[in-house]
Amino acid sequence: MLKPNHLKQIIVLAEIGSINKAANVLHMTQPSLTNSIKKLEHQLGIPLFERTTKGVKPTLYTAHIIRKGKKLLSDFNVLHKEIQLLASGQNGELHIGCGPVIIHTVIQEIITKFSSLYPNIEVNIHVDHPRKIVDKVKNGSFDIGFLSTEYINVENNFKTLSLHKENIFFIANSSHPILLEDNISINSILKYPLALPKIFIENMVDFKTNLFEANINIRTCLTSNDYNLLLHTVRHTDAITAAPQHLFDRYKSSKDLVCLNYTNENLYWHAHALYDPIRMYSTSTKLFLDMIVDWFNQKN
């Protein structure tokens, strides 16, 4: 009977053309690989390889097996992974990639509840740039990523889920000189230094290039993914930061911070979840995503 390990042996041997080298790749001895192929040829009643002075080459039968077998082997590996994820249940590790807004708002608010409900799931949170989050979701380092939409550019076999979209607001301290201006504009905001996450600085550069005076420079006094540090800097200097409205909501009662009266439709934050659909076979991943979605649904 043709089994998945046979398919792997046939595919590797056909690609390499040498039993010794194929055995090394397969972590087998040369005699064991030879015996496995011979036994399979006997069971199937067909020759799989022609022996030559330079090694082996696949027969017509083998070429057909390889055409069908690569997909079968891939499907089998996916099935094996799905079973492992299903079996993990509410246990194991969960690796989450997210940006500075997500970690400062939704993650902070749900993580204690999640850990209380599912104490056997170890959650690892990684704050990173959206491009790196995409790469790590693609290579399997992250189970799921939460990032801004402009960096969603992945293959069709990955799933994206829109979570929330809102305008970006600028935040200053309550005694900031900009508050003396009658009409606050982006040009007046950029007269002051900015304290921002790196991704927001990149967005501001793109925004500046497209929409307003090219001779105005963007000055940054602090680049950090830690909004606690950014807001601390804003409180004690003339620096201005930027964030989605929901992040500032928690500071509305604060007397030392103010949301500036300026928005622009071209400056917005649109959060997505990014994941390989196979990850949803993991109970822990699905539970975490569901809790994130519920949190944003309450905001929408």
pLDDT given at position 173: 94
The answer, yes or no, to whether residue 72 has pLDDT greater than 90, is no
Q: Among 26-35, 163-172, 220-229, 244-253, whose mean pLDDT is lowest? A: 244-253
Q: Kindly report, residue by residue over 212-265, the tens digit of the pLDDT.
A: 555 567 888 999 989 999 999 999 999 999 988 888 887 777 789 999 998 888
pLDDT given at position 84: 63
The answer, yes or no, to whether residue 176 has pLDDT greater than 90, is yes
Distance CA 214, CA 47 (A): 72
Q: According to the 3-state scheme, what is the secondary structure of the chain?
A: CCCHHHHHHHHHHHHHCCHHHHHHHCCCCHHHHHHHHHHHHHHHCCCCEEEECCEEEECHHHHHHHHHHHHHHHHHHHHHHHHHHHHHCCCEEEEEEECHHHHHHHHHHHHHHHHHHCCCEEEEEEECCHHHHHHHHHCCCCCEEEEEHHHCCCCCCCEEEEEEEEEEEEEEECCCHHHHCCCCCHHHHCCCCEEECHHHHHHHHHHHHHHCCCCCCCCEEEECCCHHHHHHHHHHCCCEEEEEHHHHHCCCCCCCEEECCCCCCCCEEEEEEEECHHHHHCHHHHHHHHHHHHHHHHHC
Q: For the chain, what is the mean pLDDT?
A: 84
User: How many other CB atoms sit within 10 Å of the CB of residue 85?
Assistant: 20
Distance CA 212, CA 208 (A): 6
**Residue with the two structure tokens 């659909």:** 277
pLDDT given at position 90: 58
pLDDT given at position 81: 64
- Model's pTM, two decimal places? 0.67
Q: Kindly report, residue by residue over 185-202, the tens digit of the pLDDT.
A: 888 898 999 999 887 777
pLDDT given at position 146: 93
The vertex-299 CA angle with 295 and 300, nearest 5°, equals: 115
pLDDT given at position 282: 82
pLDDT given at position 96: 94
265-284 average pLDDT score: 86
3-17 average pLDDT score: 86
Q: Kindly report, residue by residue over 82-138, the tens digit of the pLDDT.
A: 566 556 665 678 889 998 889 888 998 899 999 998 888 889 999 988 888 988 998
171-184 average pLDDT score: 93
270-295 average pLDDT score: 89
**Residue with the two structure tokens 């690569």:** 70
pLDDT given at position 153: 66
Q: Both tokens of residue 2?
A: 């043709």
Distance CA 276, CA 139 (A): 10
pLDDT given at position 152: 60
pLDDT given at position 248: 83
The vertex-40 CA angle with 35 and 43, nearest 5°, equals: 125
